[in-house]
Copies of this chain bind each other. A is one copy, B any other.
Amino acid sequence: MAKVALLGFGVVGSGVAEVLKENRETIARRVGEEVELKYILVRRDFPGSPFGPLMVRDFGEIETDRSVDVVVEAMGGVEAALDYTRRALTAGKSVVTANKELVATHGQELMELAFRHSCGYYYEASVGGGVPIIRPLRQCLTADRVTGVWGILNGTTNYILTRMIRGGLSFDAALAEAQEKGYAEADPTADIEGIDTCRKVCILASLAFGRHIFPHQVPTRGITGVTLTDVACARKAGCQIKLLGRTLEGEDGRVRAFVEPHLVREEDPLAGVEDVFNAITVRGNMVGEVLFYGRGAGKLPTASAVVGDVVEALSRRGGGKAPDWQKGGESATVGSDGVADRWYVRLAGGKAPEAFPGAQVLSRAEGMVVFLTGEALTAEELERRLAGETPLSAFRMLEG
């Protein structure tokens, strides 16, 4: 009988308890033995919960119980989660997490620690919720050199953009609706400013290119600057506006990683990803582009990803899992330096965009001109051409 301890009993934690119970037989068949949830670490009472008898308040109980094979960290935050994760790994217990902040900031260190103690640190649920993406990158696309990964990594912002595009709602109205439906938090900053997407693209970049990329190294712009005018003009160009996390390996061997709203052509499968769904495209030098799509959040999809990691951790018991990436450093990544794309530009003034030969004008009204540049430009080239003028909007266009 394999034994699991769960830290935290919020949305993800209670989902994990439910999946372990509901799919007990399927999971036992895959692990080769029954999997028992032995402890749930909580900070408050859950009166009437059927899991009440498993609840404990002291992490030390879990840490010192040698029968516990795997610890699921579903607490969120960094401080306590980091402390408990280190202690669990040091005690030789594999740790499974959905905590993208912790993986993005301390993933490499925790994987090293796990390996030294013959266990593993698993994080499938930290990116894409229920969408399998970490294990496909680690185990499926093994014949390819990955050259890029990009996608819609945050369901809240995608819901807001979908309501702006399909429903004609303003950003503020769409945000209010997302909050009403429980898709956005009372303080939506981490979502709408791209911070959540930034953490996820750090994890994808680290895994794809083998060196730890930290959030402070990734230039991040959210969707608060996207207007209904932009949505309408993008559609004229046959595009949808989507918040993308993107990472690429440059010819200099350094990683590019950044978060920005992009224009995505309607023929691109990412353009059709609506509401709270997530989708991630991986480009390999042999396979071309493959895409993974599904529910990027939610109790049971996220719990499904967590428990998938529990199954893997139990199947590898006794063998340490080597770190998926090496240490990073300030030189590992250079933001979006040198990444040239065509740009969508909205300028006050209505003057023709003379500095942009081949530009496609999308609208010229209300004292504004909106156009697509004819050439692919880096952000620096764009700025130079704009010659001191600050655009109302400037978004990269994702080329197929």
Specify which chain B residues have a CB less than 8 angstroms from the CB of A289 in the assembled complex: 294-295
A-B contact pairs, 12 of them (CB 8 A): A23-B144, A26-B143, A26-B145, A132-B136, A139-B139, A140-B308, A269-B273, A286-B304, A287-B304, A288-B300, A288-B301, A290-B293
Contacts of A30 in B (CB 8 A): 142
A19 within 8 A of B: yes
A141 to B294, CA, bound (A): 12
Determine the distance from Cα of A140 to Cα of B141 in the docked complex, in whole angstroms. Answer: 13
Cβ-neighbour of A291 out of B143, B145, B284, B293 (below 8 A): B293
When the two chains form the complex, which single residue of B26, B293, B295 contacts A144, counting CB atoms closer than 8 Å? B26
How big is the A interface, by class?
Answer: 35 or more
Q: Which residues of B contact A269 (CB under 8 A)?
A: 269, 272-273, 293
Question: In the complex where A26-B144, A142-B30, A142-B311 touch, is A304 in contact with B284 (Cβ < 8 A)?
Answer: yes
Q: Which residues of B contact A164 (CB under 8 A)?
A: none
Instruction: Contacts A292-B292, A293-B293 given; indicate if A143 touches B19 (C-beta within 8 A).
Output: yes
Stoichiometry, as copies per complex, reads 2
Residue interface bits A249-268, CB-to-B below 8 A is 1, else 0: 00000000000000000010
Contact A22 B307, CB 8 Å, known A291-B293, A292-B292, A294-B291 = no
Residues of B contacting A189 in the complex (Cβ-Cβ under 8 angstroms): none
**A310 proximal to B (CB < 8 A):** yes
In the complex, per-residue mask of A129-149: 1 if CB is within 8 Å of any chain B CB, else 0: 011100110011111110000
CB distance from A390 to the nearest CB of B (A): 36
Interface residue ranges of A154-208 to B (CB < 8 Å): none
Complex: A306 Cα to B298 Cα, angstroms: 34
The residues in A between 1 and 54 inclusive whose CB is less than 8 angstroms from any CB of B are 19, 22-23, 26-27, 30
